Copies of this chain bind each other. A is one copy, B any other.
């Protein structure tokens, strides 16, 4: 009845090698960086043979790409869930920062995975590609919500809020201070109100 080994569905039974690999990558790459963590540690932590990694993903670069893609999926889910819980257009914009506050509170938080991974990535790499995709999505989310709120220049407000979003992540990591989320949220409120006041 239950197809456990189909590898296409995560299934409820024993996790496949791919899943364990991705989980290990998520833990180690995120905590220590994609450059400093070697594949030996990944496969050891995943309890997987090296050949399985290369059969499944093809190489470290592709594993990093898959790791970043999975981060992006979880990011969009988290943000969408937070935004949908709010109704007032202004609150929907702020909901993004509420999600950030919640995220920073976890002691596992170690900054934006894309910012960290792209810090030492060469131009044109898969890392840059994944970062661009994720950042474009966030920018579009901010723009849509800003337009929804009825500000005269949604693009401009979106760029400002994106700056705050980035700054919050960097500050929370670099200063080891989760309260950066609250600061970002407060500043966002000011910027939103200023943009709103220009359109009566």
On A, residues with C-beta under 8 Å from B are: 32-36, 111, 114-120, 122, 131-132, 135, 156, 159-160, 162-171, 173-175, 180, 183-184, 186-187, 190-191, 194
A190–B198 Cα distance when bound, in Å, is 12
> Copies per complex?
2
Shortest beta-carbon distance from A142 to chain B in Å = 12
A195 to chain B, nearest CB (A): 8
Contact residue among B120, B184, B187 (Cβ-Cβ distance under 8 Å from A119): B120
Q: In the complex, what residues of B have CB within 8 A of residue A160's CB?
A: 183, 186-187, 190
CA distance A118 to B173 in the complex (A): 10
Cβ contact of A120, chosen from B32, B165, B175, cutoff 8 A: B32
Which residue, of A32, A117, A118, has the highest number of chain B Cβ atoms within 10 A? A118
Chain B hits for A131, CB < 8 A = 174
Task: State which of B32, B33, B163 has its C-beta within 8 Å of the C-beta of A184.
Answer: B163
CA–CA, A111 and B118, complex, Å:
11
Contacts of A168 in B (CB 8 A): 163, 167
Query: How distant is the Cα of A24 from the Cα of B171 in the complex, in angstroms?
Result: 29
- A171 / chain B contacts, CB cutoff of 8 Å: 162-163, 166
B residues in contact with A34, CB < 8 Å: 120
Chain B residues with Cβ below 8 Å from A165 are 167
Query: A135-B174, A163-B167, A169-B170 known; 6 other A-B pairs, CB under 8 Å?
Result: A34-B120, A36-B122, A159-B180, A163-B171, A163-B187, A191-B191
Residues in B neighbouring A162, C-beta threshold 8 A: 167, 171
Whether B135 lies near A175 (C-beta < 8 A) is yes
**Smallest Cβ-Cβ distance to A160: which chain B residue:** B187
Q: A164 is contacted by which of B36, B119, B164, B173 (Cβ under 8 Å)?
A: B164
* Chain B residue at minimum C-beta to C-beta distance from A158: B183
Q: Which B residues lie within 8 Å of A191 (CB)?
A: 187, 190-191
A33, closest chain B residue (CB): B120
- Asked if B114 and A174 sit within 8 Å, CB to CB, the answer is yes
